[in-house]
Every structure is written in structure tokens, then in C-alpha cells.
């Protein structure tokens, strides 16, 4: 319920109409009976700085940041959390007392929390991880796995240069695999993560035969439309444990909600169903 006492937050993106975050946060606000509003903020790149400066003055407690602003927001906040610095992107801003802006990256937390909830024993199984993709999502995934102590991580990307750049930039025992060698690289992987857009509704399919992948390896697709991507369906059929991607989106929202609205929300099946219904509309 929104009243004059509402605490304010939102999501900045361009475009922002596809974002599931307003539905998610407003569901939690209603569920916990918190006076608050979480609104979509369609902000064109040329207006990002002005809007960032204006929102705290309009009473906003903070906001989420989505495509294409996550990297640019890093330079616009007053302080950046070390993890966000490492990922090179800010997806959550919290307005501190006095108006200072603190930038976080909760995609790392969202990715890891989703993995731990769906496959609690993942760590014992994962000496080696193979990550497909080298964009912003791959960076958050790799930083999360590094922080969790995974020693061997390989990044496999269509553009090899982009993979090399990512690996050089993050250092710490990371390897690079050319896109053509992705099927061979599945051997001995304990965890396979797809961070590319391949397999998403409306995008080309991911061509990847899983024959070389150990049957115990966990297959995690961060694509959530559809929830069971062709990759996950194939993995499930051959007996691999799988992790669906929508939980990453839901969990990344938790720290922001807690900071702005004062209560740690729960991620459950009901909200997942609500988001899936929205995706189908
Ligand atoms: P995000 O920030 O969400 O990770 P992104 O930066 O656009 O998004 O990255 C998309 C990823 O999907 C990239 O790794 C991209 O590979 P390139 O770096 O070579 O562009 C990958 N991707 C997109 N379309 C692809 C395709 N047809 N084949 C292989 N990889 C593809």
C-alpha cells in the first residue's frame, strides 16, 4: 500500500519496461505491510548523472541499476563496495545519512545464494568451473566463484579477446577457452554456468553437446526465460543436477530491499510463480 509516508526506491534502466524488479519489490512491500513504493525509472544514458543526483533530493532511499547503466553507475556514486569495484559494476545504490551514495553489486550474492539454495553441496563437487560468456553477468559469476574459493575457473567466449580481457582483469588462476573448444572443456568440469544470452526466448540456441560432461557436474543457466532452457532440459535428462536462473534475479534483490525498506524479504515459490506468469504475458 502506498501512502504519503511511503519509502521510495526504483530501478533505473533504458529501456526498463521489461524489468521484473517492480513486481518483485512491490509484492514484498505488500506482503510485509510496508509503506513503500518501488517504481520503474526509464533513464536515458545522457540523463543518468542528473537523475542520480536528483533522486536522493526527492526522498529516494536508493535504487537498482540495470542494463545499460551498471558500469556507468560505478563512477557516479560516492563510495563503491570492494566487491562491486572488483566486478566493475554497480546494480544497487543505497542513499546514506547525509545523502552519500553507496554502490553495491548484489548480482554476485544473487548468483551464489541461488546456487547454494538449489544445490547445497555444490562446493564439494566443484574443483573446476566452466563459465560460458564474458559479459557483465560472467564477471559477477566469476567473482562469486573466486570469492567462494573455486580454484580452477575457465572462461569460454565467442570473442576470445573479450574472455582474455576479463581474465587479465580479474586475475587469480583463471583460464580461457576458445568457443570452438567448449565441448572438450566440459571434461572434468564440476560446474557449468551459461551466462550468454543463448537459449533465451527470442535468441539463438546454445549449441553444446554435453557428452564429455561428468554426470555429477552441476549445470546452472542464468537465463530464466524459459525457466528450463534447452541446456537445462538436456542436462536433467542425462542426470546432471541443475540450477535454474530466476533465483539469481530474486536473491540479488534481497540486500537492496532490506536496506531501503528495513526488512529482509523471503524468496519463495509463490513469488517465483508470480514472476514466471509475468514473463509469459
Ligand atoms: P551481459 O552483460 O548480460 O553478460 P553482454 O555483455 O551482452 O551481456 O554479453 C552477452 C554474452 O553472450 C557475451 O559473452 C556474448 O559473446 P561475445 O562477447 O562474443 O559477444 C555472448 N553471446 C551473445 N550472442 C552469442 C552468439 N550468437 N554466440 C556465442 N555467444 C554469444
| Helix, strand, or coil (residue 129) | strand
CA 158 / ligand 1 centre spacing (Å): 7
| Helix, strand, or coil (residue 142) | helix
Active site residues per annotation: 70
Q: Is 133 in the pocket of ligand 1 (CB under 6 A)?
A: yes
pLDDT tens digit string along 25-58? Answer: 999 999 999 999 999 999 999 999 999 999 999 9
pLDDT of residue 173: 82
Nearest atom (ligand 1) to Cα of 162? 18
> pLDDT class for 81, splitting at 50, 70, 90?
very high
Which H or E run includes 249?
Answer: helix 246-261
pLDDT of residue 171: 80
Query: Rounded to 5 degrees, what are φ and ψ at 163?
Result: -65, -45
Task: Compute the distance between CA of residue 103 and CA of residue 95 in angstroms, rounded to an integer.
Answer: 9
Cβ–Cβ under 8 Å, residues 99 and 247: no
pLDDT tens digit string along 138-158? Answer: 999 999 999 999 999 999 999
Q: Mean pLDDT, to the nearest integer, of 169-191?
A: 95
pLDDT of residue 257: 98
Nearest atom (ligand 1) to Cα of 195? 4
% of the chain residues with pLDDT over 90: 96
What is the pTM for the complete model shown? 0.97
Task: Compute the distance between CA of residue 6 and CA of residue 21 in angstroms, rounded to an integer.
Answer: 18
Whether residue 4 has pLDDT greater than 90: no
Q: Mean pLDDT, to the nearest integer, of 232-255?
A: 98
Which H or E run includes 174?
Answer: strand 174-178
pLDDT of residue 47: 98
Q: Is 249 in the pocket of ligand 1 (CB under 6 A)?
A: no
CA 265 / ligand 1 centre spacing (Å): 32
pLDDT of residue 7: 97
DSSP designation for 169: H
Q: Is 158 in the pocket of ligand 1 (CB under 6 A)?
A: yes
pLDDT of residue 281: 84
**Parallel, antiparallel or unpaired: strands 60-65 and 92-95:** antiparallel
Whether residue 1 has pLDDT greater than 80: no
Average pLDDT, the chain: 97
Amino acid at each position: 500500500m502506498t501512502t504519503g509516508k511511503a519509502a521510495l526506491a526504483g530501478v533505473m534502466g533504458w529501456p526498463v519496461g521489461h524489468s521484473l524488479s517492480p513486481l518483485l519489490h512491490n509484492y514484498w512491500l505488500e506482503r510485509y505491510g510496508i509503506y513503500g513504493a518501488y517504481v520503474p525509472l526509464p533513464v536515458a544514458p545522457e540523463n543518468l548523472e542528473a537523475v542520480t543526483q536528483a533522486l536522493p533530493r526527492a526522498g529516494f532511499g536508493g535504487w537498482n541499476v540495470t542494463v545499460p547503466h551498471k558500469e556507468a553507475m560505478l563512477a557516479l556514486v560516492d563510495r563503491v563496495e570492494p566487491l562491486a569495484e572488483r566486478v566493475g559494476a554497480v546494480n544497487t545504490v543505497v542513499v546514506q545519512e547525509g545523502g552519500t551514495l553507496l554502490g553495491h553489486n548484489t548480482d554476485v550474492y544473487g548468483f551464489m545464494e541461488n546456487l547454494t539454495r538449489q544445490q547445497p553441496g555444490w562446493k564439494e563437487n566443484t574443483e573446476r568451473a566452466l563459465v560460458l560468456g564474458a559479459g557483465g553477468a560472467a564477471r559477477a559469476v566469476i567473482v562469486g566463484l573466486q570469492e567462494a574459493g573455486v580454484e580452477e575457473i575457465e572462461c569460454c567466449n565467442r570473442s576470445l579477446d573479450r574472455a582474455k580481457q576479463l581474465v587479465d582483469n580479474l586475475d587469480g588462476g583463471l583460464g580461457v577457452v576458445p568457443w570452438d573448444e567448449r565441448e572438450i572443456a566440459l571434461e572434468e568440469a564440476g560446474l557449468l554456468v551459461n551466462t550468454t544470452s543463448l537459449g533465451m526466448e527470442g535468441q539463438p540456441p546454445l549449441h553444446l553437446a554435453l557428452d564429455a560432461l561428468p554426470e555429477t557436474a552441476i549445470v546452472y543457466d542464468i537465463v530464466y526465460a524459459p525457466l528450463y532452457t534447452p541446456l537445462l532440459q538436456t542436462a536433467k535428462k542425462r542426470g546432471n543436477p541443475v540450477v535454474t536462473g530466476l533465483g539469481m534475479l530474486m536473491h540479488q534483490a534481497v540486500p537492496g530491499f532490506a536496506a531501503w525498506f528495513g526488512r529482509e524479504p523471503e524468496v519463495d515459490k509463490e513469488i517465483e510463480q508470480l514472476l514466471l506468469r509475468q514473463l509469459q504475458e
